[in-house]
Structure 1
Amino acid sequence: MDVTDVIDDTYDTVDEETPVSKLRGAFEGSAQKALLVTAGGEFDGIVTRRDAISSHEKNSRKARSLVRPVPRIGRHEDLREAARLMIAGDTRVLPVMDDPEAESGDVVGVVRADDLLRHVQPYLSVLDTEDVATLEVVTVEPETTLGKALATFREKRIEHLPVVADEDGENVVGIVSLLDVIQFVTRELTRQQGGDPSAHVTAQGGDHGGFGDRSGESADLLDLPVRNVMVETVGTTTLDESLDAALDTMLEFEASSSIVLDDGVLAGIVTKTDLLDALTWTEEGGRPIQVFGTDYVTELTHETMAERIDDVARKYGAMRVLEAKVHVNEHKERLRGVPQIHVRIRLYTDKGLFVASDTGYGDRHAFSLALNAIERQILEGKTYGESKKPVDDEEIARMYGWWLSE
């Protein structure tokens, strides 16, 4: 199946010069999760609801300060490819292009995660919730502070926390998401400041709070309990319920996740990302490595390339490979009879999409150079994302909120 049937040609775009205040206003009055951003009439990237709401950027800044690049997809691409790109690109909206490989071009539509999942919903019945759910669940209690919840989101790199009234998980009283906390704190600070909390001066020129005041107010808000923010009416599923039924529950509750129960006790959590991930599985359950241009591969075997890619992935235990695509081409130039080979690797993982290419003499040499470039990208990303520094509430506020910006 390809994405043709789930392309939506109605979508909203904003120019990169659009003030951040208008972006926030656009999200507040709608259910859309992302806006497409154009620069000079060309597609440039997207701004997500969470980025717009949680950004430290002042309202007077422009949309280009929040834009993020996302993978592009062709109008006849496979649905599995769309699912992989959404996971690897950390996006739930993909722009559809006539030529997705071109640096510029016209957007002909978008593919949204919910539309994709609804389209494949009948096929999800072959799997049960237990097959994809996260069973090692991190929880909070109703009296846990918002600051501690934010620290947990960051440390565990998750976006949903079930709220339980007892340690054994028999009494699930709600769920709280990263976006719930961000929206609550942002809304309260805006209300307390009587407008834009990033503005230090009133229309009459007088002082209107300032950094110190906002810092104190945000600290107070972070001391509030999770019960002030959590959603009490949550959708639930069971370990043996089919994925299509689990999706029904998420759609019914307009949620991106569902609590998983076993005999009434908290057993796990399942998200729409888990459902997208299931779409990337092969019939054998593996993560295939596809090689294109096999006529130019003379020194390496498919198995060798697969093992070497797996070796790189194993160095980073928290990273899962969804799929790898290796493109091999031969150039006319030769060295002592050995042809110059160009290798391009696209590595789809749950931590991002890594793409690198290089040229060498012989497929073994070229493949090694390209894979080394992939590993450098992974290593740089891992280093950037890790911190051994203890996280306090003020640091969490700076990372997740724009209310402490100078």
Structure 2
Amino acid sequence: MDINNVVTTNYPTTDADSRVSKLTAHFEDPSTRAVVVTDDGEVLGVVTRRQFLSSHRNPDAKVRGLVWHVPSVAPTADVREVAGLMREADSGLLPVEEGGDLVGVVTVDAIVEAVRPALSDISVGAVTTADPITFEPSNTVGEAINRFRTEHISHLPIVENGSPVGVLSLVDVVPFTARKTERTQGGSSGNESTGTGHGGFGSREGDSDRLLDVPVRDFMSTPVVTAEPTDSFGHAVDMMLERDVSSVVVVEDGKVVGIVTTTDLLDALVREAPGRRAVQVYGMDLLDDISYEEVVDLIEGTMKDAPMSLLDAKVHLHEHDETLRGTPLLYARMRLFTDDGRYIASGEGYGASQAIASARDAVRRQLIDDKTYAQSKKKPAPEEKARMRGWTTGEE
């Protein structure tokens, strides 16, 4: 199945020299996964909702500083191939080009609708991210934003006594992401329009800071869309489409045991794609000081004494602007799929070998913790297991 019938020409764009603050209006629309950035009519890349949330940029900075370079695809590209590229690019939107011209975009939501008929035979439990990080209604918006950034997650189930009462997503906290980085001191400075110095009389940046202390119960989405592990994944997708949400909370006996997002669907499509390798490295061009074979050996060595079997592994590499003696700072995210669930960790380093080793060390600590629990036959509490494994609830 190709993507030709799900390509859309209706997508948000912005100029590379626009201010970061102008992205807020785009991302307040829940359907906006990413904004296409252009420069003199040429596509530079995209800004994803996750980047926007974690940028820590001045709202007066230029958008070009946030550009995420993503691959373009052809209208005849297979839907599973596109799903893999979306996971590689960590973006829910990819440009579609034909003959060198931009003809539209394809989104993760369009992929979901395209493959919906083939999902009835897949159970929710087969694609669930287990033991997700959860919050209570009294946790603050500021705490949630920090958790989104540090854990690289996009959804937080809100629970009371283990039962779901709401969901907080990246969309819900967008209004807090493009605000002044410093509180103003008040008083008219005479340079209010410059974006520098102290704000003038009546400046309200502090209002946003105070809102960070508001409990998440005031911003979470309700009612919660739920499913059980034995339910059909197709049914869960139907509910997501019908309610216009990007996640379904998985429950057993009324308690939260997992979450399913559109990202989990992409993972399922990539895992089932024919000809896949056991270890997939996204960003192969960044393997400057380590070979693919060495990455495979490193992961297999990590799993050697683990109390579970490795089914699949993915390593995502992304280059930052910072360098050290000419070597770029790289971000590495490692996702190991085992017969006992998923292990996810990230790391940074100057050069691919250092970044991947950092992520590997974080995964190894999780595996050691699980092996210790297995030997002691003491099962960890769900919140402790989530902390150990660094579970994510999927990406935008």
Same fold by TM (over 0.5)? yes
Question: Within 1, Cα distance between the matches of 2:129 and 2:73?
Answer: 29
Question: Within 2, Cα distance between the matches of 1:39 and 1:284?
Answer: 37
Q: Structure 1 unaligned segments of length 5 or more: list them.
A: 100-104, 194-198, 291-304, 325-348, 353-374, 388-406
When normalised by structure 1's length, the TM-score is 0.63
The one-letter amino acid of 1:174's match is: G
Structure 1 vs Structure 2: percent identity of aligned residues? 37
Question: Within 2, Cα distance between the matches of 1:124 and 1:13?
Answer: 32
Q: For residue 126 of structure 1, what is the aligned residue in structure 2?
A: 121
**1:245 and 2:235 equivalent?**
yes
**1:172 and 2:164 equivalent?**
yes
Q: For residue 341 of structure 1, what is the aligned residue in structure 2?
A: none
Q: For residue 255 of structure 1, what is the aligned residue in structure 2?
A: 245
Superposition deviation, residue 173 in structure 1:
1.1
Superposition deviation, residue 64 in structure 1:
1.3
Superposition deviation, residue 65 in structure 1:
2.2
Q: For residue 157 of structure 1, what is the aligned residue in structure 2?
A: 152
**1:377 and 2:368 equivalent?**
no
* Structure exhibiting the larger radius of gyration computed from Cα positions: 1
Of 98, 104, 107, 1:112 maps to: 107
Superposition deviation, residue 252 in structure 1:
2.0
Question: Within 2, Cα distance between the matches of 1:189 and 1:202?
Answer: 13
Q: Structure 2 unaligned segments of length 5 or more: list them.
A: 281-290, 304-309, 317-331, 336-349, 363-396
Asked if the contact 1:122/1:244 (under 8 Å) is kept, the reply is yes
Asked if the contact 1:87/1:350 (under 8 Å) is kept, the reply is no
Q: For residue 311 of structure 1, what is the aligned residue in structure 2?
A: 297
Q: How many residues align?
A: 310
Q: For residue 321 of structure 1, what is the aligned residue in structure 2?
A: 313
Superposition deviation, residue 126 in structure 1:
1.7
The one-letter amino acid of 1:311's match is: D
Query: Which residues in structure 2 correspond to 1:382-393 (within 5 Å)?
Result: 383=358
Is the alpha carbon distance of 1:121 and 1:106 closer, same or farther for their aligned partners in structure 2, counting shifts above 3 Å? same
Superposition deviation, residue 50 in structure 1:
4.9
1:282-326: per-residue Cα shift (whole Å, max 9, x none)?
389975579xxxxxxxxxxxxxx99765324446789963599xx
Asked if the contact 1:287/1:323 (under 8 Å) is kept, the reply is no
Q: For residue 18 of structure 1, what is the aligned residue in structure 2?
A: 18
Asked if the contact 1:281/1:287 (under 8 Å) is kept, the reply is no
Q: For residue 72 of structure 1, what is the aligned residue in structure 2?
A: 72
Is the alpha carbon distance of 1:146 and 1:85 closer, same or farther for their aligned partners in structure 2, counting shifts above 3 Å? same
Which runs of at least 4 in structure 1 moved beyond 6 Å after TM superposition?
A: 187-190, 283-286, 315-319, 384-387
Asked if the contact 2:278/2:311 (under 8 Å) is kept, the reply is no
Question: Within 2, Cα distance between the matches of 1:36 and 1:319?
Answer: 35
Is the alpha carbon distance of 1:138 and 1:288 closer, same or farther for their aligned partners in structure 2, counting shifts above 3 Å? closer
Asked if the contact 1:70/1:94 (under 8 Å) is kept, the reply is yes
Asked if the contact 2:58/2:180 (under 8 Å) is kept, the reply is no
Is the alpha carbon distance of 1:309 and 1:228 closer, same or farther for their aligned partners in structure 2, counting shifts above 3 Å? same
Secondary structure at 1:8's aligned position in 2?
A: coil
Superposition deviation, residue 271 in structure 1:
0.8
Question: Within 1, Cα distance between the matches of 2:30 and 2:169?
Answer: 19
Is the alpha carbon distance of 1:29 and 1:177 closer, same or farther for their aligned partners in structure 2, counting shifts above 3 Å? closer
Question: Within 2, Cα distance between the matches of 1:288 and 1:206?
Answer: 54
Mean Cα deviation higher: 77-86 or 15-24 = 15-24
